[in-house]
Structure 1
Amino acid sequence: MSAVEFDSVSVAYRTREGRRAAVEDVTLSVQSGEFIALVGPSGCGKSTLLKAAAGLVAASAGQVRVGGAVVTEPPAGVGMLFQNDALLPWRSVADNVRLPLQIAGRHRAEQDTRTAALLDKVGLSSFADYVPRQLSGGMRKRVALARTLAADPAVFLMDEPFGPLDALTRREIGADFLRLWEQVRTTVLFVTHDVDEALLLADRVVVMSPGPGRIVEDLAVSLPRPRDPRELRFTPEYHDLYDAVSDRLGVA
């Protein structure tokens, strides 16, 4: 059984000008523990597919299934990380991370243990009592990542989560997230405009056409794991993959 499956999925929005198709006839199967990167031009429907999997928008045609069940509302076991970190400004770092555990009704001792472990994983143990305004953009993104992981999702939907960061911070957090993911192997569907980021993170890169989005390439990334970005970027295999994806995107 696929962890996430799009079966001939189309999604359309109503606008003042009429009905506008965002994606058309998308069929994609994501296996449990697989890391899929969606790349394509702005407006091609990448984020729409994530929202459909999260139950935030409905398919106009076809079906979206998570864990074999048709998505008609936000499914259990799915975590989503947006570009905006969406931290609660009045709560401390630790209390932001523990929020999903509180909602789930976990005992306070379990909340404390889990929160401390996650803050350690993202390198923020010494910032537990800080509030979001006291943190850098990269640190806030780490808090948002820890909060999403606190719910222990089976499927992780990530909509350009590192996009707003500067290039250096983006690479650092991407490398940190890759190390975390290689420990837990949660199913990930990851939206990005960055071919380099897609290749360094994913098992497969799925290329979408300009909107209305369709899948035009589904490319396996055979680079060995664990991956060290500093080394992989200089290998012929990486450059061949980069050229293949860029050519399909029409990037010179």
Structure 2
Amino acid sequence: MSAVEFDGVSLSYRTRAGRRLALDDVDLTVDSGQFVALVGPSGCGKSTLLKTAAGLVTPTGGSVRLGGQTVTAPPVGVGMLFQNDALLPWRSVGENVRLPLQIAGLPGGEQTERVDALLARVGLSDFADYLPTQLSGGMRKRVALARTLASDPTVFLMDEPFGPLDALTRREIGADFLRLWEQLRTTVLFVTHDVDEALLLADRVVVMSPGPGRILEEFTVSLERPRDPRELRFTPEYHDLYDAVSDTLGVA
């Protein structure tokens, strides 16, 4: 079953110099439970494509469907994680995670149970009363992830969510998210510049061209799961995929 479908999606902007084409006739299907990574150079339209699925940007041509329904506004059942963790600085960790549950109108006792379970899932049970400013960057990302999970999304849209982190923390958070995803098997569309990150996380890697964004090629990542990044990086299969994706990107 298809969870996300881009059917001939094009998008152009009006600028002082005239119209600028950002996306050009993009066709892409993400099956339910699949993890798909979008890679490409800066300005190729990866984030713009993600925003069309989030209902934040309306295509000027073609359509986007989630679960068979055309996206015309931010859809229900979609969790979004962007580079900025967007935590409310005046609310504690627990209260940030509680926010979507409050909006959904869940009873207070159920909210508390869900918050406790979500913080345990991301390893932050001991930090429920901390403020975001008292946490490291990696810990704030875990809070943002727990808050997104609170709404029980069927689709994750992730725009370089680990990009601002230092390399060591980024690997650690990426490995933690991978373990979590392997339990949940939620549909994920993940934007990254990092070929290594894409191959370690995804089932498919989709390479986009420089703007206007078009799909150049798709690669199936058949590396065995569960994946241990420390082992995979030394396998011939990983290196062959890495070279193939890099060659397509023109960065080899």
TM-score, scaled relative to structure 2: 0.99
Alpha-carbon separation, structure 1, partners of 2:100 and 2:14: 33
Measured in 1, the distance between the counterparts of 2:212 and 2:22 equals 5
Residue matched to 2:243: 243
Amino acid at match of 1:117: A
Give the 3-state SS of the residue equivalent to 2:213 in structure 1: coil
Runs of 4+ in structure 1 off by over 3 angstroms are none
State the one-letter code of the partner of 2:98: R
Describe how 1:43-192 pairs up with structure 2 within 5 A.
Answer: 43-192=43-192
Q: Distance in 1 between matches of 2:47 and 2:13?
A: 13
Q: Across the two proteins, how many residue pairs are aligned to each other?
A: 252
Distance 2:126 2:17 in 1: 52
CA distance in 2, matches of 1:220, 1:39: 14
Q: Which amino acid aligns with 1:129?
A: D
Q: Please report how far the alpha carbon of residue 21 of structure 1 lies from its aligned counterpart in structure 2 after TM superposition.
A: 1.0
Q: Which runs of 5+ in 1 are unaligned?
A: none
Report the counterpart of residue 231 of structure 1 in structure 2: 231
Query: Is 1:22 paired with 2:58?
Result: no
| Matching residue's letter, 2:50 | L
Q: Which amino acid aligns with 1:170?
A: R
**Separation of aligned partners in 2, 1:17 and 1:113:** 54
User: In the aligned structure 2, how far is the partner of 1:22 from the partner of 1:79?
Assistant: 24
Cα separation, 2, equivalents of 1:14 and 1:84: 27
SS in 1 for 2:2: coil
Alignment identity in percent? 81
The separation in 2 between residues aligned to 1:16 and 1:107, in whole angstroms, is: 51
Amino acid at match of 2:204: R
Counterpart secondary structure, 2:219: strand
Distance in 1 separating the partners of 2:205 and 2:10: 20
Aligned residue identity for 1:241:
L
The AA in structure 1 aligned to 2:205 is V
* Residues in 1 aligned to 2:110 and 2:210: alpha-carbon distance in whole angstroms: 46
- Name structure 2 gaps, 5 residues minimum: none
Q: Secondary structure at the match of 1:170?
A: helix
Whole-Å Cα distance in 2 between the matches of residues 201 and 67 of structure 1?
23
State the Cα distance separating 1:13 from its structure 2 match.
1.5
Q: Which amino acid aligns with 2:221?
A: V
Shift of 1:64: 0.3
Tell which deviates more after alignment, 109-118 or 152-161: 109-118
What TM-score does the superposition give when structure 1 sets the normalisation length? Answer: 0.99
Give the aligned CA root-mean-square deviation in angstroms. 0.6
CA-CA distance at 1:16 after TM superposition: 2.1
Post-superposition offset of 1:109: 1.2
- The equivalences for 1:213-224 within 5 A come to 213-224=213-224
Bigger mean CA offset, 216-225 vs 105-114: 105-114
Q: How far is the alpha carbon of 1:12 from its aligned partner?
A: 1.2
Q: Residue 9 of structure 1 aligns with which residue?
A: 9
Q: CA deviation at 1:218?
A: 0.8
